[in-house]
Amino acid sequence: MKNRSTVVLMVLVAVLFSVEPPDQIGAGVVDPCNSFASSPAGVLFSCPAGDGDALAANGLTINVTILDNVNAPIAGVLAADIWVIGCNNLLALCGGAGAISASGPTDINGQTTITARLAAGGCDTGIRVVWQGIAIGAGVCAEPCLPIDVRSCDINGNLVTNLADFAIFGASYTSPPKAYNKCVDYVAPFGTVTLPDFAKYGSHKDHSC
């Protein structure tokens, strides 16, 4: 009996030592709250066809850091698992997650960037980085909004740029004197809707996903 008790005790000890301490549970698993993203502020012209302006080319590169529950960086997070959504859900993403992705997988510091064009319609005052569709926080479990205004030639966000969009554009062209609509203020000078904005719109006429 004594031998049997010893074996039972040894098994119990082995089980106890195999259980991870609480701070190790979830290590290596993406923690969207601890992960964070940052970017400069600016305006990004987009088109459902994916031939709008690139973030990097406009000085709007987004830096993303993916961390686990103990704030350790996670390397090798897939680029395709990282994309953006409109902060107010006012962007129509062409192909959903396929509308844009990170420039590459995360490195040993858990870092990557988002530099490309956003294939989208609609108009939103900011964007939010997501990992597998879950908003990335800012070291806390919040849903911070990056200050990038996305404005598409597909103004009404049905993923087709056609007469309906042109009617919306025309209602604010030129502004002044017409009412200002920031959703059609695609290029500098900002604050007015003038010929450069029309030229931008016109070069994407009839574009769709």
**Cβ contacts of 194 within 8 Å, gap of 6 or more:** 174, 175
**Closer residue to Ca ion (CB): 102 or 204:** 204
Span from 40-48, 79-87, 111-119, 148-156 in contact with Ca ion (CB under 5 A): 148-156
**Closer residue to Ca ion (CB): 75 or 90:** 90
Least gap, CB of 179 to Ca ion (angstroms): 14
Query: Tokens in use for 120?
Result: 């989208």
**Closer residue to Ca ion (CB): 124 or 154:** 154
**Cβ contacts of 93 within 8 Å, gap of 6 or more:** 83, 85, 99, 118, 119, 120
Among 58, 61, 115, 158, binds Ca ion (CB under 5 A): 158
**Closer residue to Ca ion (CB): 63 or 208:** 208
Tell whether residue 165 is a contact of Ca ion (CB under 5 A): yes
Inter-residue contact 181 to 172 (CB < 8 Å): yes
Tell whether residue 208 is a contact of Ca ion (CB under 5 A): no
Q: What are phi and psi of 107, to 5 degrees?
A: -90, -170
Span from 91-99, 137-145, 156-164, 176-184 in contact with Ca ion (CB under 5 A): 156-164
The number of residues that bind Ca ion (CB under 5 A) is: 7
Q: Where are the alpha helices (DSSP H) in the chain?
A: 2-18, 163-170, 195-202
Query: Tokens in use for 6?
Result: 């010893």
**Closer residue to Ca ion (CB): 13 or 163:** 163
Least gap, CB of 133 to Ca ion (angstroms): 24
Tell whether residue 154 is a contact of Ca ion (CB under 5 A): yes
If we measure between CA atoms, which residue out of 148, 96, 142 comes closest to residue 120? 96
Angle ∠(178,50,99) on CA atoms, nearest 5: 110
**Closer residue to Ca ion (CB): 145 or 160:** 160
Footprint of Ca ion on 174-203 (CB under 5 A): 185, 197
Q: Taking each helix axis from N to C terminus, what angle separates 195-202 and 163-170, rounded to the nearest 10 degrees?
A: 180
Residues that bind Ca ion (CB under 5 A): 154, 156, 158, 160, 165, 185, 197
